[in-house]
Amino acid sequence: MSSKKPDTTTIPIVDLGKLGLGVAGGPSEDELQRVAKELGAALTGVGFVYLKNHGIPSQQVEAVFSNASKFFSLGKEAKLKYEAGQPQMHGYVAVDRENLDASAKFLELREAFKVKDMSYPLPDEEVPEMRMALETFRASCWALVSNVLTALAIAIDLERDFFTSTHEELFTNGGESMTLLRINHYPTVPATVPPNTIRCGAHTDYGTITLLFQDDIGGLQLRDVEGRWVDATPIPGTILVNAGDLLQFWTSGKYVATEHRVIIPEEEVRRQSPRQSIAFFVQPNAETLVRPLDGSNTYQPITAKQHLLNKYRMTYTY
How do residues 205-262 score in pLDDT, each as one tens digit? 999 999 999 999 999 999 988 889 999 999 999 999 999 999 999 999 999 999 999 9
Q: How far is CA 167 from the centre of its chain?
A: 16
User: Residue 59: enclosing H or E segment and its boundaries?
Assistant: helix 58-72
User: Residue 133: enclosing H or E segment and its boundaries?
Assistant: helix 130-155
Q: Is 23 contained in some domain?
A: no
The pLDDT, as a whole number, for residue 86 is 64
**Is the distance from CB of 90 to CB of 84 less than 8 angstroms?**
yes
| Average pLDDT estimate for 279-304 | 96
The pLDDT, as a whole number, for residue 88 is 60
**Is the distance from CB of 204 to CB of 102 less than 8 angstroms?**
no
Q: Is 10 contained in some domain?
A: no
The pLDDT, as a whole number, for residue 85 is 75
Backbone angles phi, psi at 287, to 5 degrees: -95, 10
The pLDDT, as a whole number, for residue 3 is 42
| Average pLDDT estimate for 97-113 | 83
Q: Is 1 contained in some domain?
A: no
Q: Is the predicted pLDDT of residue 64 greater than 90, yes or no?
A: yes
Q: Is 29 contained in some domain?
A: no
Q: Is 25 contained in some domain?
A: no
Q: Is 307 contained in some domain?
A: yes
Looking up residue 304, the CATH number of its domain turns out to be 2.60.120.330
Residue range(s) defining the domain that contains residue 49: 42-315
Sheet with strand 111-115: strands edge to edge: 13-15, 48-52, 239-243, 209-214, 275-282, 180-186, 111-115, 91-93
How many Å apart are CA 98 and CA 91, to the nearest integer?
14
Q: Is the predicted pLDDT of residue 174 greater than 70, yes or no?
A: no
Q: Is 102 contained in some domain?
A: yes
Q: Is the predicted pLDDT of residue 157 greater than 50, yes or no?
A: yes
Q: Is the predicted pLDDT of residue 5 greater than 80, yes or no?
A: no
Q: Is 19 contained in some domain?
A: no
Q: Say how many domains are in the chain.
A: 1
> Is the N-terminal amide bond of 87 cis, ω within 30° of 0?
yes
Q: Where are the beta strands (DSSP E) in 195-252?
A: 197-198, 200-203, 209-214, 220-223, 229-231, 239-243
Sheet with strand 229-231: strands edge to edge: 200-203, 260-262, 220-223, 229-231
Q: Is the predicted pLDDT of residue 278 greater than 70, yes or no?
A: yes
Greatest Cα pair distance, the chain, in angstroms, is: 61
